[in-house]
Amino acid sequence: MTENSEYMSIESAKPERSITHHQPDPQKQAPCLSRRGFLTRVGAAAAGALLLPSAEAFARSMSHDRTLVFHNTNTDEELSIVCSPRQHYDRRILQRFNEFLRDHHTDQVHNMDPALIDLLYAISVFTESSGVFKVISGYRSPETNHKLRMMSHAVAEHSLHMQGKAIDFRMDDIGTHTIQRVALALQQGGVGYYPRSDFVHLDTGTIRAW
């Protein structure tokens, strides 16, 4: 691993490249998320949906480090993150995550909501997946979102992708229907299911589904 930080360590299969930062450097911003609040909300949702047999099983599952492996289907870049929701974020790692999920049309980077990492962590726990997150879309610049809307009415005018609060993906070892079912049970934001295109949209906005 090239990093072993207070929150998570990371590996990237691609060298550094010149990209345009659309937002301020996240190293200069301290993300403020309630880690305990996340665990409490997800634990309650998991218990209610019977994703785990007991509170003790939930606590054990969420207490271990897990490796999240990503592949960007647009840039062919790969990223590995070792993380735990019980630990603090490392800002340098968040910057690498932001760059990985940049708008590949414009190379613009936007600060992604770190809660997305927690959500993906929970997805991997409750699906018992050790596979790869195949990322289709992360951040979208307003220009890119407008162009995509011209091609498809399925693209929202005020998409949370433009705020760095959404990700579209599939997994190589878990079906998208299973991902959708678990994501709906977690009740942590928006869940969009696109079976024909074989991907799931997750965001950290209000709880809703389509």
pLDDT single digits (tens) 156-196: 888 999 999 999 999 999 999 999 999 998 888 999 999 99
- Kindly state whether residue 1 falls inside one of the protein's structural domains: no
Q: Where is 78: in which H helix or E strand?
A: strand 78-83
**Cα(193)–Cα(179) distance, rounded to whole angstroms?**
9
The mean of the pLDDT values for the chain is: 80
**Cα(45)–Cα(187) distance, rounded to whole angstroms?**
7
Residue 109 belongs to domain spanning:
9-23+33-205
User: In terms of pTM, does the model score above 0.85?
Assistant: no
- Kindly state whether residue 189 falls inside one of the protein's structural domains: yes
| Domain count for the chain | 1
- Kindly state whether residue 210 falls inside one of the protein's structural domains: no
- Nearest C-alpha neighbor of 203 from the set 158, 150, 148, 149: 158
Residue 18: pLDDT over 50: no
**Cα(119)–Cα(129) distance, rounded to whole angstroms?**
14
Q: What confidence tens digit (pLDDT) does each residue in 52-107 have?
A: 555 566 666 666 788 999 999 999 999 999 887 667 778 888 999 999 999 999 99
Taking residues 10-20, what's their average pLDDT? 48
